[in-house]
Amino acid sequence: MDNFTLHTLGCGSARPSLKHQPSSTVIDHRGNLFMVDCGEGAQLAFMRQRLSFSRLQHIFLTHLHGDHVFGLPGLIGTLALNGTGGHITIHTFEEGKEQLCSIFNYFCRDTPFDIRFNIIKPEEDVILETKSLTVRTVPLNHRVTTVGYIFEEKPGERHIKPEMTRFHEVPISMMKHLKNGEDYVKPDGTVIPNKILTSPPSPALSYAHISDTAYMKNLAEKIGPVDLLFHETTYLEEHKAMAAPRGHSTAKQAALVARDSGAKILLTGHYSSRYKDDTQFKREAEEIFPNVLLNNEGLVTHIKRSK
């Protein structure tokens, strides 16, 4: 099983189409599921990808437009019908909590789990830390308050070199200390440097989810060199004049952010329904940035370390 995968549930924009569903993405990190946005139909797409409701504990809302939120009452209702226990945390703004509480109190009164809210602000901040993952926000430029989310693995432990630990007769009780970077002191006082007994940890992986936003030249430095960048590509350059007033980006502009941030791969999405051929987004982005993935419902993207 891969440690870090991305499941696309919906990659369309606000106007409905028969081609794409509204925005929703699920990140699977070491068996723990994190949902970003929950457009209509998200729960059905979730089931089509054979994802487990019981492993979903966090939902991150980028903003409060309907195509990113309207699937949430249905999802919560389904979780209740399934008898899902424990708790689920919704990360949103104060006004999001107010509106969702009103909806849940009417339609989802009797849930066998706790619905918790983590109130976020449109600023750069770390909003969640687990044992293996950090999630931080970056403010975006849309028609309503909006943030993007950066998922970053925490540095792992160093790797033991078995042949060297055997040679230096390191006891098993010291292995945890070696993984944490400590030197080994032999009974006679000889110090064996850690770098002789271990090798560096595997590089940490990262994913950035940049939802609805007009092009922001300074956004790249806020994101940093992630392994996978999802950046909305609502429009093509031929409709650039529409993009900024509506708080959206073109495929070319998304590619500029990918290039300038040092991202390894750009994932397109949030396609306007005006376009019949999605491959146009890939072709336009590739004029600026070479590693482009064309998004679609059901796509599973594996975030892997470079060899």
Domain ranges of the chain: 4-156+202-302, 159-199
Q: What is the pLDDT of residue 109?
A: 81
- Rounded Cα distance between 252 and 290, Å, is 12
pLDDT tens across 200-256, in order? 888 899 999 999 999 999 999 999 999 999 999 999 999 999 999 999 999 999 999
Q: Which of 28, 67, 212, 227 is flagged as catalytic?
A: 67
Give 118's pLDDT tier (boundaries 50, 70, 90). Answer: very high
Residue 84's pLDDT is 79
- Does the annotation count 278 as an active-site position? no
What would the CATH number be for the domain defined by 4-156+202-302?
3.60.15.10
Integer angstrom CA distances of residue 19 from 51, 115, 173, 250, 278: 22, 32, 57, 19, 10
Structure tokens at 218: 């300074």
Distance CA 183, CA 178 (A): 7
Between CA 281 and CA 268 the distance in angstroms is 7
- Nearest of 180, 222, 228 to residue 205 by alpha carbon: 228
pLDDT level of residue 56 (50, 70, 90 thresholds) = very high
Cβ proximity of 150 and 210 under 8 Å:
no
Q: Which of 99, 36, 49, 109 is nearest to 76 (CA)?
A: 109
263-287 residue pLDDT tens = 999 999 999 999 999 999 999 999 9
165-182 pLDDT, tens digit per residue, is 999 999 999 999 999 999
Phi–psi pair at 134, nearest 5 degrees: -120, 140
User: DSSP string spanning the chain?
Assistant: --SEEEEEEE-B-SS--SS-PPSEEEEEETTEEEEEEE-TTHHHHHHHTT--GGGEEEEE-S---GGGTTTHHHHHHHHHHTT--SEEEEEE-HHHHHHHHHHHHHH----SSEEEEEE--SSSEEEEE-SSEEEEEEE--SSS--EEEEEEEPP-PPEE-HHHHHHTT--GGGHHHHHTT--EE-TTS-EE-HHHHEEPPPPPPEEEEE-S----TTHHHHH-S-SEEEE---B-GGGHHHHGGGT--BHHHHHHHHHHHT-SEEE---B-TT-S-THHHHHHHHTT-S-EE---TT-EEE-----
pTM of the model: 0.90
Task: For residue 122, count other CB atoms closer than 10 A to its CB.
Answer: 17
Query: Which of the four pLDDT bands, split at 50, 70 and 90, describes residue 2?
Result: low
Q: Can you say how many angstroms the Cα of residue 161 is from the centroid of all Cα atoms in its chain? A: 33
**Average pLDDT, integer, range 137-151:** 98
